[in-house]
Amino acid sequence: MPFRFRPLELLGLMLIETQVFEDPRGFFMELYKASEFSAFGLPSVFVQENYSHSVFRVLRGLHYQKRPKAQGKLVRVLRGEVFDVCVDIRRGSPTYGRWTGLVLSDRNRYALYVPPGFAHGFCVLSDEAGVIYKTTAEYDPTLEGGIRWNDPDLGIQWPISDPIVSEKDARLPYLRDAVHDFTYGASEG
């Protein structure tokens, strides 16, 4: 099996380790296989794929898309290193308002599945980073939502003290004021 699926502390988040075949020419690895993801209970259909390139200290997030086009995301770093953060925003969840963070990089080759009901973001730890992610629903600008990266109620411990944040992300609301209707245990999407 080319993938190892590791559930994370916040229910629904899944770290995916990929088997890598290396030799003197380089390496080969499968990035995604519908049958294996589906067998492990993860989505097998992704309808959009995005790529973001960022420089050191850039912080993107914390973003989500509201229903009816809530997005699950399969996130992977193709170049560089990021500190990736997910916040549970599903009302009624035992981990509502809690966050988890982990390093995704071109060296560890991890992928992260982020289901609907989580706000997601990352900050760049390397000189540059290329992040690719597949989504389970197409982006709709009228349904975008977000939470401010430095919400004091969340207390996220970002490894960058002075990040570069877009004006739009700097104006996002705190979780207590954010508009969303995610409910723990409800089918999203």
Phi-psi region for residue 35, left (φ > 0), alpha (ψ -120 to 50) or beta? Answer: alpha
User: Among the options 53, 63, 113, 139, which is catalytic?
Assistant: 63
Q: At 37, is the secondary structure helix, strand, or coil? A: helix
C-alpha closest to that of 85 among 18, 175, 2, 20: 175
C-alpha closest to that of 99 among 118, 86, 110: 86
Cβ atoms of residues 114 and 72 within 8 Å: yes
Q: First CA to last CA across the chain, in angstroms? A: 28
d(CA 41, CA 27): 28
Query: In the chain, which residue ranges form alpha helices assigned H by DSSP?
Result: 34-39, 167-170
User: Among the options 64, 110, 113, 133, which is catalytic?
Assistant: 133
Question: Is 63 one of the catalytic residues?
Answer: yes
Which residues are part of the catalytic machinery? 63, 133
